[in-house]
Amino acid sequence: MFDSKYLYLTSAILCLLYFIGFSKQGKTYKIFSFYLLGVLFIDFISSKLWKWFGIYNIFTSHFYDLFQFVILSYFYATLLKTKQQLYIVYSLIIVLPIFLLSRYVFNPKMFFEYSLLETYLATMPIIIYGTMHLYNNLNEKKEFHYANIGILLYLFCSTFIFLLFELKNVFKIKSFDNFLININIILQFIKFGFFFIQWKVIYFNKHELN
C-alpha cells in the first residue's frame, strides 16, 4: 500500500505554494487556496483520530463532503458566466446543505455511518459545474483550466471507487480493499499534479491560458 504520509506532504507543499502571494491574487484564486487548506486539514485530522482518541473517522466524511461541496460551489460561481448557471449554483448551495444536515437532525445515527447517497449528492453538482466551465471556455480564455481538469478527473473516478467499495461490502467481498485504496491515492497525486501545473501557469506562464 502507498504511504499516505507522502500524500499529506504533497498536499502541504501545494498549500504553501498557493498561499505565497495569496493577498495579490483574485477571489477565485483565494477560494481555491482555502479549498486546498481545508482538504489538507480534514484529511490530516481524519487520519489521526484513531491514534489520538481511539475513534473511527467515518463521520469526518460528512464534513469533507459538505465542505468540498460548499467551497467548490463558490469557486465555480466565480467562473461560470450565465445567469442560468449561477442560479443553479446558488440554489443548490442553499438547498443541498439543508437537506443533508436535516437527515442528521431526524436520524443522528446516520452521522456515524458512511452515506454513498450523500457523497453522490455532494459530488455530482461539482462535476456538472466543472463540465459547464469546460463548455463555456471552449473558445475563450481558460481560467483555472488545469485545476478544473484535476477536480473533474478525481471526483469522477473517486465516486466510482466509492461505489465499488459499497458493492464490495454488499456482496461481502473481502479482497481488493488495498487495491482500491491505492488507486484512490494515485488519483489524488494526479489531481495534485494538475494543481501544481495550475500554480506554475499562474506565476510563471501568465502568457499561456490560465
CA 108 to chain centroid, in Å, comes to 25
Per the CB < 8 A criterion, the answer to whether 120 and 159 are in contact is yes
- Domain range list for the chain: 4-204
- Provide the whole-model pTM: 0.90
Over the stretch 11-30, which tens digit does the pLDDT of each residue have? 999 999 999 988 889 999 99
Over the stretch 40-62, which tens digit does the pLDDT of each residue have? 998 888 877 666 666 667 778 88
Per the CB < 8 A criterion, the answer to whether 71 and 108 are in contact is no
Q: How confident is the model at residue 208 (pLDDT cuts 50, 70, 90)?
A: low
